[in-house]
Amino acid sequence: MKMKNKFIALALAVGLTTVGCTDILDTKPQAALTQDQVLKDVATTQSILNGAFASLRNGGYYGRDMILLPELLADNCKLVNPGDRSGRGLNQSINLSGSHLSIFFAYQGLNAANLVIDAIDNNRIVVTSQADAITLNRLEAQALFIRALVHFDMVRTYSYNPNYILNGWDKGVPIVTKPVRSKAEITLPARPSILAVYQQVEADLLNAISLFTLTGTPNPASRFVPNRAAAQALLARVYLYWAGPTYPDKYQLAVNMATEAINSGAATLSTSANLVNNWVNASATAPNPESYFEVNFAANQENLGGDNSLQGWYTRQVNAAGARVTGWGDVIASDALLAQFAPADLRGTAGTGLLNIARRDFEPASSRETRKYNAPSGAQFGLKNVPVLRIAEMYLIRAEANSYLNNDAAALADLNLVRFGAAGRTGLPALVGVTGAALRDEIYAERRRELAFEGHRWFDFTRRGLDVLKPDGTIIAKTDYRILANIPLAEVQANKNLEQNPGY
Amino acid sequence: MRENLLKQVFALFLSVSALVAFAQERTITGRVTAAEDGSAVPGANILVKGTTNGTVTDVNGNFTLEVPSGATLIVSFVGLKTTEVEVGNSSTVNVSLLPDDAQLNEVVIVGYGSIKKSELSGAVGSVKGEALQNLPIPSLDRAIQGRIAGVQVNANNGIPGGNTQVRIRGVGSVSGGNEPLYIVDGVQITAGDRSRRIISSNPLNGINSNDIESIEVLKDAAAASIYGAQAANGVIIITTKKGKQGKGKFDVNYYYGQTDIIKNQPLLNSEQWINLYEEGQRNFYQSFDVFGEGFASNLARSFTQVNYGNAAAAATYDWQNLVSRRGDIQNIDISASGGNDKNRYFISGSFNKQNAQFIATDFTRASARLNFDNTLTSKLTAETRINLSTVTQNTQGVGGFNTNNALVGAIGRLPMANPFLSNGAVNPNLTYAIGPLGNLSNPLWLAQVNPQRGVTNQVLGNFALNYAINKDILFRSSYSIEYSVIDENAFFDPRSPGGAGVNGSVQFLNTRVINWQTDQTLTYTKTFNNRHSISAVAGFSFRNQRTDGFNATGVAPASVFLNNTLVGTTANAVTSVFGQFKITGLFARVNYTLDDKYIFSATVRRDGSSRFGFGNTFGVFPAVSAAWNINKENFLKDVSFVNDLKVRASYGITGNQDLALGLGAADFPITLYGAAVGFGYGGAGGVGPTNLGNPQLRWEENRTLNFGLDFSVLNNRVAVTADYFVRTTENLLLPQILPSTSGFGSIVENVGALENSGLELGITTTNVNGQFKWITDFNITFIKNKVTRLINPGEDLPNNGLWLGRPLGQVFVARYAGVNPADGRAMWYNQAGNITYDPQANDRIFLPRGSGSALLPVQYGGVTNTFTYKGIELVAFFQWNVGQLALSNFKAASSMDFRFDTNQDQDMLRRWQKPGDITDVPRIVPGAQEVGSANSLFGGSISGQDRFWEDASYIRLKQVTLAYNLPQSVIKRLKLNSVRIYAQGINLWTSTQFTGLDPEFAANTSNIGVLPPSKSIIGGIQFGF
């Protein structure tokens, strides 16, 4: 063949094979999966579910804000100035309009849970054995737990308590139970009634509990993933929030569900010998024995770091010379909280207890910071699991619900378990003969001490329709619009059906 | 040799002319060469005068032609003077063509070919390699700053070899890429920083600027649309030198220079700082009524003295001086070029080392270039272009408020802190590091213990075969590869803040870019009837670029001296990245010129890209243009002072396939599930949805209308090129925010539109001609930019900084009203124009200052004056930028108040002290906020108010060169071809009102920690032999 012809042939060959057909443009993502590579079998379903668990680690959610801000927004904590002087947290500490919990983004993590539930419900997961089938039950139950948790956190942040709806603002939060895999599946959900959201949360948790309870379903022993007891504990909390003048029947349900959780044996109450250690040395392999569910921060790269982790906000690490090495310790115990602790209370003791001397400039020597989120020795600063549900809370839920059911003796017994346990827990003695309103006050005071720094304080005001106290004695009135968090502007703009809370 | 040839030809003419009358139709052969270097001229047109009979020379410049007796040949070739030769009765006619020095016949490189400047109908700017000779600037893109109208260049970072921003005719994309396509000897290169963490790298760093023959910038759609979906931001074609026929020439060039900082931030000395600190404390305590006046003063004094000592006795250490240094630059390059009529070569090697003006920051490049042109057969030639380079960069922090950044460290340190121990060693724990930021350790120490290094190895290669199918049609088959490997390595000492939380960390990052292409083209060139000249090109191209890499971080190294290995560390994070795109295109262009007067050109390209959604894989990008050489018309023919007068018009469409990189939708327009660390849980890997597919995703489309005018008068003493353009971007990619309930944050959609319009003017004048010669080259660009459509009709997107009818980079902030003389509080204006202490979102205004935006100036340009006298050459090049807004970050961070225990700007000396003081600097308060003053974003922040936004206009003496070429008489005695001695200064003088470290920072980026450009002076010598 002549040279000329060879070239023309080559040109034509290359040309025809490369132009006109889109095949040559095929590229395949190597570092990501496409739709047809996920949710195929048990393993690929588990990996999507892991993503849903992991979404809880976000610093805007259980990684930090969901724990930190309810304290800072109310009266347990104060922002120290100079802390890092970055001004972070300042707006939340003074409840500036619009500076609130901002967890609406957590709906994004819900998509993974819905993907799992949808795929299992529609039998799209290939099941090759009985073991696969029961594993799917567990996966679905865990996905339902995540869905319930997110919806519940949303409704308690963005909506009134169903018993204390103000000005008829009966707006729940969008209920999202369908996954989005393509643009066409995007919906613009409106806000249903508050009750509807509680009912959805209840249904999902009951469904999860029953799936965990199905014969053969492996109920995970790990407290880092949702298990049956965790679902029961969460549902107990949901019932306590739900219970009130409008829904008095929920008190008994709260008692029942707390009892189920306690009786599951999944968590055990600390004693005075290990109360502090169970917090301070709880690690990625050994959670706090009191926990039903902790958000797991296992790997170094999951660490939110010296600046942004809970530990970094709550404490600072100093070197021998007293200079800060890492962490900022922006948020420390308020004087009002410190006043709650009796001298004997381990939870209020600095150094050997759950508090520490706050080592920062310009603050009085009496300043205290929490040790609850200190990384265990040997681990990176800031790398610490976050307890979400604990057995002490279950006893306090049962005590509170029982006191409203006028079962004062049972309530007092549970309260004393938190204070004294079987043979000493917090250093406080058991109470004797307290009843009625006084008992209830003791329960609430105990709740504040026991659950301090754990993201309950704001909600303990708002769920009961109370004014929110601030450390300096001022209040955010229950009628104040700032009781409800603002829905981020971008969300309202992106979803025309989503109504903003009043005042924003 | 050359003289002999000319003599022979001349003798031939004489004898031929005597025999004309007797000649008959017969075959002659001959060869056409370029008089300049004797090289063959392939493709030269040969026409028998008065007939249509003609031919074209082959690749060796040879031709064979039937001629009648007494014929005269007209020999022509682009860029060479058309010459008439009488054949006589000789059977061999060799013709040597002189260069055509008329500017009009300059050849301009365009996409897939070249074109006579007089036949150009699009907008193309050009810089010759000589202008870039010996510039001590590592990357070419920086070197063209200010030299071509319509091209704006900003440095992303002043570290040598740092990445740049190049904007041709404004900014055409919000979410997608805005960088032009680079084509280096046929290799298409996507600009941008390929480093992922530690260094700031530039893919053009590997090219030695002394290898450059010319740089062409294709600005309008008529010129660029042959590159279709990659051409929306313009195309920059870089052509390197090639060998010329003749005796081998060697060039050896060496220069050495020094480089220094241009300016320091004016900061307080120790006495001033301590006194002001005490004043702040006093103000603080006085704000509590419980303290008496005297008590507050005493408390402030004792507190200050306990912590910082006595003001008057305190020594001052100038930290900015400590972290900067007199850097040096060394460059040596050697080239050899030459060849015979069949094989020509240009080979060069270079070594360039720059120690920057900041400690622990340097740049080293070694490069080798092999350019070969080989004639294989009478119809087949081969071109080979290979550039090999290795670039090493050391740096201390690339920017951002980074604890490891030397500049941040230096400006942050208190002036009292002694950097050295009594034994002279660097002090790791500064005495005055007591504040909350006290852990910003000694930057001198960090520079020692935290090495940060990047190495980029790159191969750029192109191989092409040209085959003359017949005398009119040339087939070209071209293959290109770019292979780059970027290895980055960083260490954070366990004792330093970056490593403290993790007991030290070692990071390795590796990035590979494999980018290969092929272009197959057919070129057809023919002139009919001596009137109709057609040149056409058609072809297809395919490009496949794949980027992959990994990051590995190990923590807790066994020893702090094991800082360059993962051995002995605990694995902390290991991850890899992957991206790929493919583009395939079919294209064609036809140029038609009638009588050298009327020029028409049409281009079309159909491009498909893997980045486009399945519904829109292919796009068509057409362009048309026309030009009229008015001076060739009869009515102007006799007007002798007009040498050239041409009007041009073009319209066309180009695409931007560089989609939404910033939005994470980089390469795959489908729903993706990622397996990032963020999805793993409890030690098990996890997967989550990361990207919601958009099957309709497509290119951003630029429609450019261009009107041009070229004229030159007075023997080409004055030459002007003017262009007016309107560049409209349609299908602008914008992130459509999705509700979180959808599971996704946003989806990228082609919804918006924006417009850039402007005027470009280039004027070249020969002011004095003769032995003393003075040439002025001036260019200026006026540019306007506005957003014309966003997601919803009539709705702005303030959260994205986008407002309809306003430019990109619009600054929307609260207005600072100075200080209340009564109490020293900062004041702002509210919406109604009244004073407020707490400005809110709706008190903001659009900053009209300078009437530019943070992204774009109002006008920019450059002027070069070249003076030559005998062997002496003086070049002065000024470059300016007018109207761009920039945030004076460093000054702002060091004049907000005594919020950080860091040094403060000297502006603080003007602070309010007592009632009645009129000043713009508020009362000093330690801590975050003055009681009762703004704690909103718009008062409390640096960028949310206009106090620190400034007009960053500047004019800068970018380059001044003084060179002396030794006279021939001396050189001959030295047995050399040329000797040139030169000195060059870069950035020697700047005029600006901007109070930050430098006005040249990249647009709209925070300039905290970004090393500013340097000024430098070099001296060198170049031998040719």
Q: How confident is the model at residue A195 (pLDDT cuts 50, 70, 90)?
A: very high
- B506 Cα distance to chain centroid: 32
Q: What is the mean pLDDT of residues A176-196?
A: 95
Query: What's the pLDDT at B18?
Result: 40
Q: What pLDDT, on the 0 to 100 scale, is given for residue B499?
A: 80
The yes-or-no verdict on residue A446 having pLDDT over 90 is yes
Burial of B561 (0-12, 13-18, 19+ CB in 10 A): exposed
- Beta carbons of B555 and A380 less than 8 Å apart: yes
Query: How many angstroms separate the CA atoms of B316 and A415, rounded?
Result: 62
Q: Testing the interface with B: which of A18, A102, A105, A384 to mutate, by most B Cβ within 10 A?
A: A18
**Contact (Cβ atoms closer than 8 angstroms) between residue A259 and residue A323:** no
Q: What is the mean pLDDT of residues A154-169?
A: 96
In this prediction, residue B104 carries a pLDDT of 46
Query: Amino acid identity, residue B576?
Result: S
Note the pLDDT of residue A117.
97
Measured distance CA(B534)–CA(B554) in Å, rounded:
64
Output DSSP code: residue B923.
P
Lowest mean pLDDT, pick from A239-243, A254-258, B194-198: B194-198
Q: Write the CA distances from B1007 to B400, B884, B892, integer angstroms.
A: 7, 14, 11
Helix (H) / strand (E) containing A331: strand A331-333
B503 CA: distance to closest CA in chain A (Å): 8
By three-state DSSP, how is residue B412 classified? helix
Query: Which of A414-418, B13-17, B64-68, B986-990 is predicted with the least confidence, judged by mean pLDDT?
Result: B13-17
Q: Which of A487-501, B403-417, B625-639 has the lowest mean pLDDT?
A: B403-417
Residue B1007 scores a pLDDT above 70:
no
Average predicted confidence (pLDDT) for chain B: 85
Q: What is the pLDDT of residue B280?
A: 85
Q: Is A231 exposed, middle or buried (0-12, 13-18, 19+ CB in 10 A)?
A: buried
Query: A212: which 2 tokens?
Result: 């965990």
pLDDT at residue A83 is higher than 70: no
| Chain A residues with CB-CB distance to B540 below 8 A | 14-15, 18-19
Is B1019 within 8 Å of chain A by CB? no
Residue B994 buriedness (CB in 10 A; 0-12 / 13-18 / 19+): buried
What is the C-alpha R_g of chain B?
Answer: 32
Closest Cα in chain A, distance from residue B459 (Å): 24
CB-based contact B436 A187, cutoff 8 Å? no
Architecture field, domain B2-101? Sandwich (2.60)
pLDDT of residue B80: 75
B296 vs B301: CA distance, rounded Å: 9
- Phi and psi at residue A47, to the nearest 5°: -70, -35
In whole angstroms, give the CA distance from residue B810 to residue B852.
Answer: 8
- Residue B187 β-bridge partners: B184
Bond before B857 cis per omega within 30 degrees? no
Identify the pLDDT of residue B432: 61
| CA gap A360, A314 in Å, rounded | 12
Residue B1004 has pLDDT above 70, yes or no: no
Contacts across the A-B interface (CB distance below 8 Å): 272
Q: Both tokens of residue B381? A: 């030639």
Range with the lowest mean pLDDT among A84-93, B215-224, B539-548? A84-93
**DSSP per residue over B677-694, as a string?**
GGG-BTTB---EEEE---
Is B738 part of the contact surface with chain A (CB cutoff 8 Å)? yes
- Calculate what percentage of chain B has a pLDDT beyond 70: 91
Domains and CATH numbers, chain A: 38-227+468-504 (1.25.40.390), 306-329+340-372 (no CATH)
Res B113 pLDDT > 50: yes
Q: Model confidence over A280-334: pLDDT tens digits?
A: 988 878 899 999 999 999 888 888 988 899 999 999 887 766 667 788 888 999 9
Least CA distance to B685: which residue of chain A?
Answer: A47
% of residues, chain A, pLDDT over 70:
92
Q: Do A25 and B682 touch (CB under 8 A)?
A: no
The pLDDT value recorded for residue B862 is 95
Which residues of chain A have a CB within 8 Å of the CB of B796? none
Which residues fall within 8 angstroms of residue A423, CB to CB, at 6 or more apart?
A271, A272
Tell me whether residues B675 and A32 touch, CB distance under 8 A.
yes
Looking at residue B23, its pLDDT comes to 42
For domain B105-242, give the CATH superfamily. Answer: TonB-dependent receptor, plug domain (2.170.130.10)
List the one residue out of A82, A109, A59, A91 whose CA is nearest residue A311: A59
Strand order in the sheet with B62-67: B62-67, B26-34, B92-97
C-alpha angle with apex B412: B410 to B417, nearest 5 degrees? 75
Cα(B151)–Cα(B155) distance, integer angstroms = 13
In this prediction, residue A1 carries a pLDDT of 46
Q: Is the pLDDT of residue A19 over 70?
A: no
User: Nearest-CA distance from B610 to chain A in Å?
Assistant: 5
Query: Tell me, what's the pLDDT at B927?
Result: 59
pLDDT in tens, B341-354: 889 999 999 999 99
pLDDT band at B716 (very low <50, low <70, confident <90, very high): confident
The minimum CA-CA distance between A21 and chain B, rounded to whole Å, is 9
Whether residue B617 and residue A225 make contact (CB cut-off 8 A), yes or no, is: no
Residue B117: pLDDT above 70?
A: yes
pLDDT tens per residue across span A325-373: 788 888 999 999 999 999 999 999 998 999 998 866 556 778 899 999 9
In this prediction, residue B5 has a pLDDT band, given cuts at 50, 70 and 90, of very low
- Give me the residue from B672, B692, B940 closest to A34, CB to CB: B672
Q: Is B739 on the interface with A (CB under 8 A)?
A: yes
* Minimal-distance CA residue of chain B relative to A151: B741
Q: How many CB atoms lie within 10 A of CB B633?
A: 12
CB contact under 8 A, A3 and B497: no
Q: Which stretch of B249-253, B717-721, B789-793 has the lowest confidence by average pLDDT?
A: B789-793
Conformation bin of residue B195: beta by default, left when phi > 0, alpha when psi is -120 to 50? beta
Q: How many CB atoms lie within 10 A of CB B434?
A: 17
**B352-379: per-residue pLDDT in tens?**
999 999 898 999 999 999 999 999 998 9
Question: Are B136 and B243 within 8 A, CB to CB?
Answer: no
Contact B231, B218 (CB under 8 A): yes
Chain B residues closer than 8 Å to A114 by CB: 743
Closest CA to B631 of B647, B617, B616, B619: B647
Q: Where are the domains of chain B?
A: 2-101, 105-242, 270-315
Write out pLDDT tens, residues A408-436: 999 999 999 999 998 899 999 999 999 99
- Testing the interface with A: which of B476, B503, B741 to mutate, by most A Cβ within 10 A? B741
Question: Quick check: A4 and B379 CB within 8 A?
Answer: yes
Q: Which residues lie below 8 Å from residue A437, measured CB to CB, with a gap of 6+?
A: none
* Separation of alpha carbons A145 and A228, rounded Å: 9
Residue-wise pLDDT tens digits, A123-137: 999 999 988 988 999
Q: Does B609 touch chain A (CB under 8 A)?
A: yes
Q: What's the CA gap between B410 and B319, in Å, rounded?
A: 5
Provide, as residue numbers in chain B, all residues whose Cβ is less than 8 Å from the Cβ of A324: 436, 438-439
Number of H helices, E strands in chain B: 13, 47
Whether the CB of B494 is below 8 Å from some CB of chain A: the reply is: no
Binned at pLDDT 50, 70 and 90, residue B22 comes out as very low
The whole-number pLDDT of residue B413 equals 82
Least confident of A314-318, B9-13, B34-38, B552-556: B9-13
Tell whether B380 lies on the interface with A, counting CB pairs under 8 A. Answer: yes
Q: State the DSSP string of A453-472.
A: TSS-HHHHHHTTTPPEE-TT
Strand partners, B28: B65
Q: What SS3 string covers B438-485? A: CCCCCHHHHHHHCCEEEEEEEEEEEEEEEEECCCCEEEEEEEEEEEEE
- Residues B555, A361: C-beta atoms closer than 8 Å: no
Here the ipTM equals 0.90
